[in-house]
Amino acid sequence: MAWFVGIDIGSATSKGVITKDGDLLAHHLLPSGTNYKMAAEKLREELLSKASLSQEEIAYTVATGRGANNVLFADQQVADIICCARGINNIFSSVRTVIDVEDQSSQVIRIDEEGRVINFANSEKCAAGSGRFLQVIANVLRMDLKDVGPLSLKSENPVTFTTGCAVFGETEVISRIAEGNSKEDILAGVYKALAEKICALVERLGLEEQYAITGGGGLDIGLIKAIEGKLGIQLLVPPYPQLVTALGAAIIAAEKCQLTEG
Amino acid sequence: MYFAGVDIGSTMTKVVIMDEDEEVCSRIVGTTGAEHRRLANKVMEEALKQANLPFNEISYVVATGYGRVNVPFADRQITELSCHTKGVSALFPNVRIAIDIGGQDAKGMKIINGNLVDFVMNDKCAAGTGRFLEVISDALGIKVEDLGSISLRSTNKVKISSVCTIFAQQEVVSYLSEGTPLEDIVAGLHDAIAGRVVRMVKRLKIEPDVVLTGGGANNIGVVKAVRENIGCEVLVPEDPLLSGALGAAILGKETVLKALAKGEPVPKKERRLEEATFFT
């Protein structure tokens, strides 16, 4: 009987899971803030309390994500694309292409039937290809991020953005509002721009089904529809898209533990 | 005879009025703003007042810049690349590379004997434009015009690793929370913007004289960082914002003189000093 922990410290949100015999026992999410060490500590406390466990009962902990090095209680750090690939393989074994859309980056990962990474492409230099772009626009429109996707689906005439830049996009949105465009048409245009960036990454790796979306982007129906429409594909969406990478970390933790014991 | 150049940039509107000896008698810099995009006539009126001239004394008006179509009283529209080349060459006859860091774009021009032979430009990404500094000074709670003098106090500038303005803003906030001195952060920002612009301009093969114009040239920290990134002297005109408008006025003068020399009528438009009634 052994429990394993996966901790994923992302730029915006920190995610943690505890697994037992491959099953998800407890999970928790919290904002990463500016102090990743504190976020990691808090995450551990919450996870242990939710699972009614003490630290001694945890057999192995794997940390991943941008702030992985700040997880002082981890036994090992593993790259996030490896964890994401393992996590999605555990949920949908048929998936060969994972589109992981996060706050500060997007990555597309090609995986094999065992959940091993074959190739990947990412955009991390520019907010235009990441969730941050949406956050910026939602702020301009004074909308909650969770309402943005559903509203965009009502659009019949999406606006076109001339640059991909999130900063200039903000200005353009203000101009479009002044010109009298509706919120839904503006938002649909934003999704179109975002999907173009992300789909370019997918096309760089070559199309191979089946497809899944993970990260915060997996919670966004507007983005899912925009990507599906652009590529003409179906996206599988896991029940907790933000937790996939942390789950993968916990699965890797279990394997590491078996290896060391064996 | 008097000639006017009107340069409507994304952020600032500039007007120059000069006489036939190219003696400048009026120079005005005003903000463009969303509301004022069609109010080029207001800035022009201000310039006429400064020169103490009525509008009908102006022989020719050339409009340039990204808002040049919103100047209904202009006789002619000319692209900013041509006007910048003209203006910078008039001020610095030996210019080979002109770099303009504007509010929402940045460009590099290769000039040989006063002619534009090649150019590079970025208007797709806020990084490497004035907007980068605007967004971040906002986050730092300081005025963009104070950045230059603040950065000169720096002894140990930080490295800004993000290219994207939005990520850089976040990076700056985390530097602040770590207690990094403000001047070191600001110096790092100037280095980031200069590095990005210079990398782009290097495609033109940089050779002296190098001239820097636009709002970026008004910031001593940016000028210093551009010098360091290029590794040679960088000349800055007295009014870095006005070179486009100056070039426009000179091109207007040339148009009139050419027509007069040929004995042809000056190709003037029927014009009144009024606000633009359309948007583009």
Domain regions of chain B by residue span:
2-84+242-262, 94-236
CA dihedral for A69, A71, A72, A75, sign (positive or negative)? negative
| pLDDT tens track for B54-65 | 998 999 999 999
Q: How many Å lie between the alpha carbon of B30 and the closest alpha carbon of chain A?
A: 20
Q: Give the angle subtended at the CA of B43 by the CAs of B39 and B49, to the nearest 5°.
A: 140
Q: Do A34 and B126 touch (CB under 8 A)?
A: no
Residue A104's pLDDT is what? 86
Closest partner residue to B104 (CB to CB) among A132, A136, A168 is: A168
Q: What is the average per-residue pLDDT within B159-188? A: 91
Is residue A112 located within the same domain as residue A233?
yes
Cα separation values, B142 from B30, B68, B134, B148, B186, Å: 21, 32, 10, 11, 10
- Same domain? For A101 and A136 the reply is yes
| Residue A252, helix vs strand vs coil | helix
- Residue A218 shares a structural domain with residue A102: yes
Helices A131-140 and A145-152: crossing angle, nearest 10°?
90
Specify the CATH number of the domain B2-84+242-262.
3.30.420.40
CATH number, residue A122:
3.30.420.40
ipTM: 0.77
- Same-domain pairing of A81 and A146: no
Q: pLDDT at position B5, please?
A: 96
Reading phi first (left if > 0) and then psi (alpha if -120 to 50, else beta), residue B250 is in: alpha
- Check residue B279 and give its pLDDT: 44
Task: Assess whether A18 and A105 both reside in one domain.
Answer: no
- Give the pLDDT confidence of A83-128 residue by residue, as tens digits: 999 999 999 999 999 999 998 889 999 999 999 999 999 887 888 8
Integer CA distances (angstroms), B256 to A80, B162, B265, in order: 66, 49, 9
Residues B220-237, mean pLDDT to the nearest whole number: 96
Closest CA to A166 of A139, A128, A198: A128
Lowest mean per-residue pLDDT among A103-112, A208-217, B168-177, B245-254: B168-177
Number of Cβ within 10 Å of residue A193's Cβ equals 25
Return the pLDDT at A152.
96
Q: What is the tens place of the pLDDT at every residue in B104-155?
A: 999 999 999 999 999 999 988 999 999 999 999 988 889 999 999 999 999 9
Is it true that B2-84+242-262 and B94-236 share their CATH fold? yes
Taking CA–CA distances from B166, the nearest residue in chain A reads A127
Q: Are residues A17 and A67 in the same domain?
A: yes
- Kindly report the pTM of this predicted structure: 0.81
Reading the block at residue A200, the tokens are 């370019």
Contacts of A34 in chain B (CB under 8 A): 173-174, 177
* Below-50 pLDDT ranges, chain A: none
Q: Do A132 and B166 touch (CB under 8 A)?
A: yes
A228 and A251 co-located in one domain: no
Contacts with B126 from chain A: Cβ below 8 Å: 165-168
- Residues from chain A contacting residue B125 (CB–CB below 8 Å): 126, 163-165, 168
What residues of chain A lie within 8 A of the CB of B177, using their CB? 34
Q: Are residues A256 and A231 in the same domain?
A: no
Q: Which candidate in B66, B125, B172 is best for mutational testing of the A interface (most A CBs within 10 A)?
A: B125
Q: Contact, A124 vs A104, CB < 8 A?
A: yes
Q: Supply the range of the domain harboring residue A160.
A: 94-237
Q: DSSP secondary structure string, A130-155?
A: SHHHHHHHHHHTT--HHHHHHHHTT-
Judge whether A181 is closer than 8 Å to chain B, CB to CB. Answer: no
Under the banding of pLDDT at 50, 70 and 90, the label for residue B277 is low
Among A32, A122, A134, A165, most B C-beta atoms within 10 A, so best to mutate, is: A165
At B51-90, the pLDDT tens digits run 999 998 999 999 999 888 888 889 999 999 999 999 999 9
Contact (Cβ atoms closer than 8 angstroms) between residue B255 and residue B266? yes
Distance CA B118, CA B238 (A): 25
Check: CB of residue B111 under 8 Å from CB of residue B104: no
Does the CB of A54 have a partner CB in chain B at under 8 Å? no
- Reported confidence tier of residue B34, pLDDT bands at 50, 70, 90: low
Number of domains in chain A: 2
Rounded to the nearest angstrom, the minimum Cα separation between A39 and chain B is 15
**Closest chain A residue to B132, measured at CA:** A167
Could you tell me if A175 and A83 lie in one domain?
no
Q: Is the CB of A142 inside 8 Å of chain B's CB atoms? A: no
Which distant-in-sequence residues (6+ apart) come within 8 Å of A9 by Cβ?
A: A32, A36, A39, A40, A63, A64, A65, A66, A67, A68, A70, A71
DSSP B59: E
Q: Does pLDDT of B280 surpass 60?
A: no
Please check whether residues A221 and A144 belong to one and the same domain: yes
Which residue from A minimizes the CA distance to B167? A127
* Minimum distance, in Å, between the CA of residue A180 and any CA atom of chain B: 13
Contact criterion met (CB < 8 Å) for B34 and A178: yes
- Domain shared by A55 and A176, yes or no: no
Nearest to A151 by CA among A161, A162, A160, A142: A142
Residues A112 and A67 in one domain: no
* Least CB–CB distance from B126: residue in A34, A167, A175: A167
- Cβ pair A127:B167 closer than 8 A: yes
At residue B36, the pLDDT reads 56
Write the CATH number of the domain with boundaries B94-236. 3.30.420.40
